[in-house]
Amino acid sequence: MGRRKRPKRNRGRNLFLLCVLAPAFLWFLLFFILPFVSVIFYSFTNAHMAYSEFRWVGLDQYQKAFTKDPTFLISLKNTVTAALVIVPSTVVLSILLAAGLNMLRERMRQFFTFIYFLPSVISAVAISLVWDWLYSKNYGLFNAILQALGLEKQPFLSSVSQALFCLCIVQIWSVFGYYAVILLAAMRGIDRSYYEAAEIDGAGGMAKFFKITLPLIKNNILFVCIMTTTVAFMFFTPVKILTDGTPGTSTMVMLLHIMNKGIINSDIGYASAMSVILMLIILFFSMIQWVITKERKSKPVSGGRKEARS
């Protein structure tokens, strides 16, 4: 028997799918794959906007970052410090907010969900300008409150010891509502039978939360952890607008240093090398979170009779 011809309907459907997917694929290729490959390639060269030619230098740019550029080491320390503040704070606040919203009635929950989700759709520049007013030493709201309480004004953004922490607060405030909505959706999807069984066994609210709710949304929590880690290490807009790395280099973060070297100083090769280092750091911490969650994945959900007892 001869090979059966493919129906024209299937060929037409495949052609339609190809036409639909082609723009997205080209967009992904042009704005993700090609820049990614280019950054890795340029990190091994001495490419500079001032020179028309460049040559292969191997690992010299990476060696320069760790041995000849003290500002890079400072920016690395500041970025890791900011991430250690932003990631756990954002995750914990998101979980607590989601749990609180989950206990509200439908209309109240919808209203407060909208309120807390709102910062995630507002421009990061606008958010930074609002916080610049809040932190202002002369006319800021926070210092006005401190003065009303009889306390001294604080130089929030001009203090070496306070500036980075204040910027972390801006970042946490702008994103934790978004992740809380994600976790709220996961909590709303949990089967009520788990809680009913736990209530029959006499489990209290805290027991149900820690032994039923959290285990059942652990994959969502992992997603929030990984996304928050990425956001924390790519901490840029509030830093650029509010402090621009000052006072001194106390708020100089890696992404700002990369921008200064790559765009302002036109040192494409060195900026590319630092970008690759930042990417590897993000990948490293994300893998740690993934491995920790994977090790716990085999554990049974604490929804049984013995585990749910308070």
What value does the mean pLDDT take over residues 265-274? 95
Helix (H, G, I), strand (E, B) or coil at 275: helix
Instruction: Find where tokens 């030493």 sit.
Output: 137
Among 11-25, 27-41, 83-97, 257-271, the range scoring the smallest mean pLDDT is 11-25
Tens digits of residue pLDDT in 57-67: 999 999 999 99
Structure tokens at 282: 């993000």
What CA–CA distance (Å, rounded) separates 121 from 112? Answer: 15
pLDDT for 201-259, tens place per residue? Answer: 888 889 999 999 999 999 899 999 999 999 999 999 999 999 999 999 999 999 999 99
The answer, yes or no, to whether residue 99 has pLDDT greater than 70, is: yes
Q: DSSP 3-state assignment of 59?
A: coil
Question: 4-34 as b/e, with b when 16 or more CB fall inside 10 Å?
Answer: eeeeeeeeeeeeeeeeeeeeeeeeeeeeeee
pLDDT at 299 over 80: no
Q: What is the pTM of this model?
A: 0.85
Inter-CA distances, 181 with 173, 178, 286, 300, Å:
14, 5, 21, 26
Asked whether the predicted pLDDT for residue 49 surpasses 90, the reply is no
Exposure of 220 by Cβ count < 10 A (0-12 exposed, 13-18 middle, 19+ buried)?
Answer: buried
Write down the pLDDT at residue 12. Answer: 73
Report which of 263, 255, 258, 260 is spatially closest to residue 238, judged by C-alpha positions.
255
pLDDT of residue 307: 42
Q: What pLDDT was estimated at residue 25?
A: 87
Q: Which domains does the chain have, with CATH numbers?
A: 67-308 (1.10.3720.10)
Distance CA 90, CA 169 (A): 10
The string of pLDDT tens digits covering residues 154-189 is: 999 999 999 999 999 999 999 999 999 999 999 999
Structure tokens at 262: 């790559």
Structural tokens at position 294: 């994977």
Nearest to 228 by CA among 97, 126, 83, 79: 83
In this prediction, residue 19 has a pLDDT band, given cuts at 50, 70 and 90, of confident
Query: Residue 82 corresponds to which tokens in the numbers above?
Result: 């900011």
What is the arithmetic mean of pLDDT over 111-128?
A: 94
Indicate the helix (H) or strand (E) that contains 91. Answer: helix 70-102
> Does residue 84 register a pLDDT over 90?
yes
Q: What is the pLDDT of residue 225?
A: 92
Quote the pLDDT of residue 309: 41
Contact 277, 65 (CB under 8 A): yes
Question: Bridge-partner residues for 45, per DSSP?
Answer: 56
